[in-house]
Structure 1
Amino acid sequence: MDAVAEVDAVIGRMRTLRSVWPPDDGVAVFNQVYLTVTETVAEHLAGGAFADRRTAAALDACFARRYLSAVDAVDDCRRPPACWRPLFEYRRHPGVRPVQFALAGINAHIGHDLALAVVDTCHALDRVPADLEGEFHQVGDLLVLLEERIREDLMPGPDLLEIADPLTHLLGSWSLERAREAAWSAALVLWRLRDVPVLAEEFRVRMDAGAGLVGRCLLTPCRR
C-alpha cells in the first residue's frame, strides 16, 4: 500500500470509529476534529499542495497510526501510552467540556506521537529529519486548522466563558505552536539517539509522561 492509500485507510478507520462512538464520548470529540483535518490533508495531497507528496502522505499516515494504535490498545484491554491515558480515562466524565477533550487529544498526539512519527517516516523512506522539515511544517500548519475548528465549534459562548471561569485559564495554559516546536526538537533528539536504543526509549518515556501530565491538567473537571 502506498503512502497516499495509507492516508485513505486511516481516514476510513476514523470514520468507522465515528460511527460506533456516541458523539458526547470524549475520545469521539477528538476523533471528529482529527478526522476533519486528516481529510483536509488528503484533499491537499490530491490537489498537489505538497512539493513532496509521498513524504507528506507517509508522515501523515505514520502520525495517524500512532493515535489509532492507542485506540487499539484500549480496545484490547492493554495500556495505551501515558499521554493518551487521561483522555480514555476521563472520556465520559460529566464535568469535562468537549473543548477540553479535544485539546487533551491534540496534546497527546503532538506532545508524544508527532516526534515518533517523524522518526517512523525517516526509517520508512530512508530519509533524515532534515528531508522532512518542509512537509513537517506544512502538515503542522494544517494542524492549526484543528485548533481553530475546536475553538469555533466547541468553545462555550461568551456568556459562559468568563474571565473567572477555570476553563479560561486551562485554555490559555497550552500552546499548539510551542507544542509543534517541541515535537520537532524531540524528533531531532530521537534521531540522534537511534543507535542508542536504551537512551532513546528513556527519552520517549519521559516525553510520554510529560504529555500525560499536561493532559490530566487539561482535563480538570470545570463544568458548573
Structure 2
Amino acid sequence: MTTDVDGVLARMHGVDAGLPPGDGVAVFNRVYAAVTAEVARRLAAGHFADPEAAGDLAVRFAGRYLAAVADDAAGRRPPACWRPLLRMRAHPDIRPLQFALAGINAHVGHDLALAVLDTCRATGRELPGLEADFDRVGEALTQIEAEVRELLMPGPDLLEAADPLTHLVGSWSLARARDAAWAAARLLWALRGAHEAYDECVSHLDAAVGLVGRLLLTPTGGGRQSSGSSTGAISS
C-alpha cells in the first residue's frame, strides 16, 4: 500500500508542476504533498495499527482532493467545499497561509469523513476499528499544519498590519476539524442504510465546509508578498 501512496504523491507533484508558485491550489498542494510523504514514511516504518486499511484511507483521502482538481480543470462542478479555493486561487489579496488552511479545511472537514466510509466499504472494516489509525493520520496533518503556520504567518513586525489575517487563522482549528470529521463519519456510518438521509447529510456537510472555506479566504491584503519561496520550504 506504500507504493499506492507513492503513486498518489507522484500525482500531486504533477499537479504542482502545472501551476504557478503563487496559485492558491499550488500552495495547498505543496502542503498536502508534505503530509502524504509523511504518511508514506510512517506506513513504511510500521507506525499504523492496520497498515492495509491506513494505506487505503490515505489513498482514498487524497483521491477526493485530486478528483476535485481534475473536475475543475475539466469544467465540471467540484464539491462545494473546494469551490472557494478553486475560485479564489488567483486573488492578489489573499495570503498563502489562507490558501493552505482553506484547502486543509475542505479536505479534513468534508473529504476525510467520506474517505473513512469509503475505506470501510472497500476493506470490510468496521468503523470503530479505524479510529486509532484515523488519529495517526491526523497526527501527520497536525505536524505539517504547525510547520505551515510557522512558515507562512507574518513576523512580529507585520502583526499589526496583518491583524485581519491573525484573526482569521486564529478562528479555525485543525483539532476541532478532525474531531468534527470523526463525528461526521460516525453519523454517516449510522445512516449508511438510509440512503436519502445519508445523501442529505453529505450535501449539508459539503455546503457548511464550503462556507467556512469562503470565510477563511476573506481578502486581507499583501497576498503575493510571500507566495513562492516560503511554501517551497515545506519538505515533501
Show structure 2 runs of 5+ residues with no match.
223-236
Aligned counterparts of 1:216 and 1:114: Cα–Cα separation in 2: 19
| Residue matched to 2:178 | 180
CA drift of 1:114 comes to 0.4
CA drift of 1:143 comes to 0.6
Question: Cα deviation per residue 1:79-138 (whole Å; 9 max; x = unaligned)?
Answer: 110000000000000000000000000000011000001000000100111010010000
The residue type equivalent to 1:202 in the other structure is: E
Q: How many residues align?
A: 222
Distance 1:164 1:16, change over 3 A: closer
TM-score, with structure 2 as normaliser: 0.91
Please give the secondary structure, in 1, of the residue aligned with 2:105. Answer: helix
The residue type equivalent to 1:191 in the other structure is: W
For the 8 Å contact 1:86–1:212, the answer to whether it is kept is yes
Calculate the aligned-residue CA RMSD, in Å: 1.2
CA drift of 1:5 comes to 2.5
Among candidates 194, 207, 210, match of residue 208 of structure 2: 210
Structure 1 moving runs of 4+ over 4 Å: none
| Residue matched to 1:117 | 115
CA drift of 1:75 comes to 1.1
Please give the secondary structure, in 2, of the residue aligned with 1:159. Answer: helix
| Residue matched to 1:22 | 20
Show structure 1 runs of 5+ residues with no match.
none
Deviates more, 1:85-94 or 1:54-63: 54-63
Aligned counterparts of 1:86 and 1:216: Cα–Cα separation in 2: 5
Distance 1:163 1:84, change over 3 A: same
Deviates more, 1:111-120 or 1:139-148: 139-148
CA drift of 1:223 comes to 0.8
- Find out whether 1:38 has 2:36 as its counterpart: yes
Please give the secondary structure, in 1, of the residue aligned with 2:158. Answer: coil
TM-score, with structure 1 as normaliser: 0.96
| Residue matched to 1:4 | 2
Aligned counterparts of 1:161 and 1:80: Cα–Cα separation in 2: 35
Relative contact order, CA 8 A, sep 6+: which one is greater? 2
| Residue matched to 2:234 | none
For the 8 Å contact 2:83–2:210, the answer to whether it is kept is yes
Among candidates 152, 155, 159, match of residue 154 of structure 1: 152
